[in-house]
Amino acid sequence: MIPTLILFGLVFGRWWRAALAVAALGWPLLLVATGVLGVEPALAGASGLAVLNAAVGVVVHQSVLWLVRNHRRAPAAPPGT
């Protein structure tokens, strides 16, 4: 289940605010809908862990995005070097 949320963060990391909000609300709803958990206090913990796991994917996505943007902005080496 953890890799699912990390992958979700990786894929939707460009829209990180929406991705974290969906993880916080969608994951507990999915757990209740599939019968894994009932409506109980443990859902708050599940929501928190879902956000943390999705945040890992978002951070990786944003880091790669930052590296690519900085690489594109880097000046080209002068000819003859």
Answer yes or no: is 34 within a domain.
Answer: yes
pTM of the model: 0.82
Answer yes or no: is 79 within a domain.
Answer: no
* Structural domain that includes position 17: 2-73
* DSSP per-residue codes, 6-21: HHHHHHSGGGHHHHHH
DSSP helix/strand/coil, 76:
coil
pLDDT digits 0-9 by tens, 5-50: 999 999 999 999 999 999 999 999 998 999 888 888 888 888 999 9
What distance in Å separates the CA atoms of residue 33 and residue 40, rounded to the nearest whole number?
13
Contact 10, 61 (CB under 8 A): yes
Into how many domains does the chain fold? 1
Q: Count of H helices and E strands in the chain?
A: 3, 0
